[in-house]
Amino acid sequence: MGRHRQPALRHDWKDGGVQPAITVVIVSYNSAPALEATLPALKRELRDTDEVIVVDNASQDNTVALTGELMPAAKVVETGGNLGFAAGCNRGAEQAKSPLVCFLNPDAVPQPGWRDAIGEPATRPENEQPAAWQALVASDGGQSINSAGGVLHFTGIAWAGDKTPPGNRPGFLSGACLVMDREKFLQTGGFAEDYFLYHEDVDLSLRLILEGGKLEVIPDAIVDHDYEFHKGAAKWRYLERNRWATIIRTYPASLIILSAPVLAAAELAIWLAALTGGWAKQKLLSVIDSWRRLPGWLRQREQISARRSPDITPRKFTDTMVATLDSPYLGGPARSQPVALLLKTWWRLIRALLPS
């Protein structure tokens, strides 16, 4: 498909040394302007054995026609409605033919050398391969970093980190450019479809950690992401609802119990922020959504818990979580010194009491 030539795929690629083919799945929704930059850059990087699947969620612009013009070899899956990012990714993975699947945002432009670097983890011996990995997500034309691995607070609040964490152990992987074994992705349940948008990458990452998997950032695989945090008030509804979904679905019971006082305090603080920030209606809708979906989340929790590795104790599960709210997208009071000291103290106590 691209300028690189690749020998026929060997069946023993999991033993290391050979880069398997990759299916790049792009979920689009009125994404024509973004794809004008992304598809040509992606096409230059791909190998002849790779494939591209564009899952279109009923775009009203010329996304489908543009994809055909810019990348005739790409497969377009038209869903007939706006299924959301998570369900769109799952539909693409179900139809993928390659051993690896890469979920790429339509506005995440691969930079030169991306393909060779993003496939490198699959060349390692199987016992040294991460369960999933992400590219380094740049922004502003490569002038800054959008995500070098996600940061996850123990209250479930998550944000993009601007530097790779110590030991390259991110709290979660960014869905802007996330790669994993296709069969593993489907076996673990894929992205949680009822999330629709946001936090589905946090949820998937935590489920992989529960199963004993390692997450990794590949710094030489770079995509430039046209990122903007503020995308309307409805975003807060999804973020808050899906934060609670992730806590209920994936957190060990002991972690929820020990964190309960902080979770309650955080809930009050978020309500205050919603009231002063003009998105109280969206916060209320997230609470209504959560109560309605709670029975389903509890059933999903049982299924997820059944896949937990016996090596992942509650304390080990929290190894990559943080205690302080250092996100630039949170207000000043959340990052104040007294709040930071209180959170650190409480987190040390929680960690000490968690089963190890």
State residue 221's pLDDT score.
97
Residues 60 and 199 in one domain: yes
What is the extent of the structural domain holding 192?
13-225
What is the C-alpha separation between 292 and 287, in angstroms, rounded? 9
What residues does 339 pair with on adjacent strands? none
**Contact (Cβ atoms closer than 8 angstroms) between residue 184 and residue 131:** yes
The pLDDT of residue 43 is above 80: yes
Residues 179 and 246 in one domain: no
Residues 49 and 198 in one domain: yes
Flag whether 198 is in a domain.
yes
Amino acid in the structure at residue 336: S
Flag whether 232 is in a domain.
no
Residue whose pair of structure tokens reads 């029975």 in the numeric block: 295
Q: Label residue 168 left, alpha or beta by phi (over 0 means left) and psi (-120 to 50 means alpha).
A: left
pLDDT tier for residue 19 given thresholds of 50, 70 and 90? confident
Flag whether 178 is in a domain.
yes
Flag whether 233 is in a domain.
no
Q: Which of 8-22, 141-155, 252-266 has the highest mean pLDDT?
A: 252-266
Q: Angle 237-25-17 (CA atoms, 0-180°, nearest 5)? A: 125
**Contact (Cβ atoms closer than 8 angstroms) between residue 210 and residue 119:** no
Residues 54 and 134 in one domain: yes
The domain that contains 126 carries what CATH number? 3.90.550.10
Residues 204 and 288 in one domain: no
The pLDDT of residue 13 is above 50: no
Higher-confidence residue of 144 and 117: namely 117
Residue whose pair of structure tokens reads 């506005």 in the numeric block: 107
Flag whether 230 is in a domain.
no
Residues 184 and 146 in one domain: yes
State residue 119's pLDDT score.
97
Higher-confidence residue of 229 and 55: namely 55
Residues 255 and 133 in one domain: no
The secondary structure of residue 141, as a DSSP letter, is T
Flag whether 167 is in a domain.
yes
Average confidence (pLDDT) over 160-166: 87
What is the C-alpha separation between 121 and 184, in angstroms, rounded? 15
The pLDDT of residue 3 is above 50: no
Residues 183 and 42 in one domain: yes
Residues 220 and 252 in one domain: no
The pLDDT of residue 11 is above 60: no
**Each residue's pLDDT tens digit, 278-316:** 999 999 999 999 999 999 999 999 999 999 999 999 999
Q: How many domains would you assign to the chain?
A: 2
The pLDDT of residue 5 is above 50: no
Residues 30 and 163 in one domain: yes
Torsion sign over Cα 90, 94, 176, 148: positive
Amino acid in the structure at residue 228: E
Residues 70 and 168 in one domain: yes
Question: Per-residue b/e over 171-205, b at no fewer than 16 CB within 10 Å?
Answer: bbbbbbbbbbbbebbeebbbbbbbbbbbbbbbbbb
Average confidence (pLDDT) over 203-208: 98
Single residue among 200, 225, 250 that ends a domain in this structure = 225
Flag whether 127 is in a domain.
yes
Six-digit token string for 154: 């123990």
Residues 191 and 296 in one domain: no
**Each residue's pLDDT tens digit, 206-259:** 999 999 999 999 999 999 998 665 556 789 999 999 999 999 999 999 999 999
Torsion sign over Cα 330, 331, 332, 333: negative
Single residue among 225, 247, 270 that ends a domain in this structure = 225
Single residue among 196, 225, 254 that ends a domain in this structure = 225
Flag whether 38 is in a domain.
yes
